[in-house]
Structure 1
């Protein structure tokens, strides 16, 4: 059997670390998730949506001030 995660308890943290390492110009890691690495243009809302296969990972949600 192929394992896609090292430690299931660290899955979310490992995923976020990988995501921020892959896109450092776009997002940065903060407690509880990620934020946009740059300021949103005035009058625009930044939206981050996660997804996955089946029921997990669940959707990430909205990002704002």
Structure 2
């Protein structure tokens, strides 16, 4: 599981843009409470992450050759 913010960083988008896309495409999102701060976080399970990657392919770092 990963937070929507961490996923947004991976695909170089804002959290709100990823959240809006997930809601519009019907991707199931879950909420969890952070054990450290008690904040409510939006988390992605593996299936939701795969569904979002169809719309946001990961940005790959250029190979150093």
Place the TM-score, normalised by the shorter chain, in its bin: under 0.3
TM-score, normalised to structure 2's length? 0.28
Report 1 or 2 for greater relative contact order, CA contacts < 8 Å, sequence distance ≥ 6: 2
Bigger proportion of residues as strand: 2
Larger Cα-atom Rg: 1
Bigger proportion of residues as helix: 2
TM-score, normalised to structure 1's length? 0.28
